[in-house]
Chain A
Amino acid sequence: SAVISQKPSRDICQRGTSLTIQCQVDSQVTMMFWYRQQPGQSLTLIATANQGSEATYESGFVIDKFPISRPNLTFSTLTVSNMSPEDSSIYLCSVGMTGSFTEAFFGQGTRLTVV
């Protein structure tokens, strides 16, 4: 299993600013993922954070808006850039363990409100 610490747990930000969310895992993991959950909606994968290389983004998400860092096997950051009210969501970090039949572990999420 893995324990994930995500910071901050919530924030209220002004439009046009940026927020960086941190995800720390208590063990080395191969895969780290970032999801967005818009109000009343399900989770949508933003990107896979790759250690030592650029993140892999899903359709509809771009690096300029959601830059991601993955400096080592236990840490990743997601930045939400030039925020607008439409970015108000819960952002969740997730990790996957090696192997084909494994659960994913989630942080507690960051609840972002943009005003």
Chain B
Amino acid sequence: SQQGEEDPQALSIQEGENATMNCSYKTSINNLQWYRQNSGRGLVHLILIRSNEREKHSGRLRVTLDTSKKSSSLLITASRAADTASYFCAWGTSYGKLTFGQGTILTVHP
């Protein structure tokens, strides 16, 4: 499959804990993005990391990218119940055409 893999498939944690999700892809990329999806609806863009970047932060989010291993990770620190959602990595070509990973279902318990 041209889709990559994400692990874990599901993650259940308590509020305040950190959540780490991993993504592997198969092709050369020029950027990798992470999205959140609540209740099977539209996707919300979280963060984009370019292929020449190794780490990027946005608020409680930290993304790393290792192009030699074709892998990325998303860390959510100090998680909240509102972070409960599905998280997808996606790698893109120019102009926004994306290939998505399988996704991680995150449940944060209050």
Q: Which residues of A contact B (CB under 8 A)?
A: 6, 30-31, 33, 37, 41-45, 48, 90, 92, 94-109, 111
Contacts and interface: CB of A to CB of B under 8 A. Distances in A.
Interface of B: 3, 30-31, 33, 35, 40-43, 45, 48, 50, 88, 90, 92, 94-103
Contacts, number: 77
Contacts of B40: 37, 90, 109, 111
A101 B50 contact: yes
Nearest to B103: A42
If over half of A's interface residues share one DSSP class (helix, strand or loop), that class is named, otherwise mixed; here it is: strand
A99 B88 contact: no
A102 B102 contact: no
B96 A45 contact: no
A101 B41 CA distance: 24
